[in-house]
Amino acid sequence: MAEKIIMLALSPTMETGTIVKWHKKEGDDISSGDILCEVETDKATMDYESTTEGTLLKITSAAGSQVKVGEMIGIAGKPSEDISGLLKQAEPIVRKTETQKKVAGNEPVSDKLQNITPSEKEHAPYGVRASPLARQLALESGIDIQSIKGSGPGGRIIKQDVERVTAQGGQPETFTKEQFQQKIPLSDKRRIIAQRMTQSMISAPHFYLTIAVRMDYLVNSRNSLNSSIKSKITFNAFFIKLVAEALRKNPIVNSSWAEDFIIRHSSIDIGLAVAQKDGLITPVVRDCANKGIVAIDSELHDLVQRGREGRLSLQEYTEATFTISNLGSYGVRQFTAIINPPASAILAIGEIFDELSFSADGGYQKHHSMLMTLSCDHRVIDGAIAAQFAGDLKNMMENPITVLY
C-alpha cells in the first residue's frame, strides 16, 4: 500500500527544512537507510534517510522547496499503484528559498538581476534602477535620476517617469525613508537563533563576572609549542583545555537546569561558537578533560572547517555542557554572551592586548593581557561558585604549570 514520505525533524530545533537536492528520482527503488535527498536545516545540510521500502512513486516537494516538519515530500509504494488519493492530500508547497522568491512583476530575483544592464547594476544597491532611455532623458534634462520615483516593474524608472518630472519643472520628488529600506526575509537558521537566544535570556536569569588575565606565560608557552611541532596550535585549543581543567575542579559549573533537578554532567563537552555566513553554529569537542591540547586542536580544526561548510552531524553541534565565544580576532576587547542551552554558563573571550604596569624598580613593563566575561545561569550557579571557577581559570591561564598538579 502506498504511503507518504514526510519531512522528519533532523535536529531538535528544526521546524522547517529546505530540500537542497534529490538523490533518488521517481521510479527508483528505495530501501530503508537509502539517502533520498539532502535537507538544509536551521544548522546544517543533512542527508534524509529512507525509513520505508518500495518504489519512489512521486516527489511532491521538488528541490528548493521549504517544507514544514510532518508535511509530505514524496510517496512510496508498489509500481503502478494508484496514488491519486494521497496526491489529493498533498498541499502544494509554495514556500521557497530566498533565491527563488518572487518580486514585483512576478519575475524571479535572479532573472531580474540578469536583465539589468551594467549601468543599472551600479545603482541597484541604492534602490535606483532605470532604463537606458530614462537615464539619457534625465541627463539631457539636467534632472538627478535619484530624485525620480519609478513606476516600472520593481520600481524601475522608465521614460514616462522622467517626462512626468520634466513637466513639473524638474522639481525633485519627495520620498519616504521606507522606499530606501531593504527588508531581508528571515532564514530558518536566523529564526531559530532568535527563538533560542530569546528563550535563554527569558528563562535563565543571567549574571556576569569579568576577569583580567595576564597572558604572557600562555603566549610564550604557545609560541614554544608551535616552534617544536609542524602545525600551529590555536589559542582556542589552549582555552578549551584550561576551561576543561577549571570545570573539573568546579563541577557545578558543568551542569544543566532541568526544572525539577540539576544535571551534573559526567563528561566535559565544550562548544566553540563559530560564525557562518547566515548565523552561527557551535561545534562541540567531547570529553575535553581527558584530551591533550594537540588532540583538541586537531579535532577542533576539523569541526570548525566542516561547521563553516554546514557539514556537521547533529551530534557534533548539540548538547555542549559549556560554551566559549571568542571575538578577540575581531578586535573586540570585552563583551557578554548569551548562555547556549543546555549549558549553564558561557565564557566570552576578548582580544589579547598590550598593557603597561609598574615594575619593582619603579619603572614600567609591558604585559599581554586579556579580559574574559563569564555569563552564568543563577538557577544553577551562585556568585561565589562562579567567582571560584573564574579565579581557578585565571590562575591556570597565568600559570599553566599548575594544571599538572
Q: What residues act catalytically?
A: 378, 382
Cell of 271: 562548544
d(CA 258, CA 401): 36
Amino acid at 355: E
CB 305 within 8 A of CB 322: no
Separation of alpha carbons 144 and 135, rounded Å: 9
Amino acid at 101: K
One DSSP character per residue, 281-315 reads E--EE-SGGGS-HHHHHHHHHHHHHHHHTT---GG
**Burial profile 29-64: b = 16 or more Cβ within 10 angstroms, e = fewer:** ebeeebebbbbbbbbbbbebebebebbbbbbbbeee
Task: Please enumerate in sequence order all residues whose Cβ is within 8 A of that of 357, keeping only pairs 6 or more positions apart, or say none.
Answer: 364, 365, 367
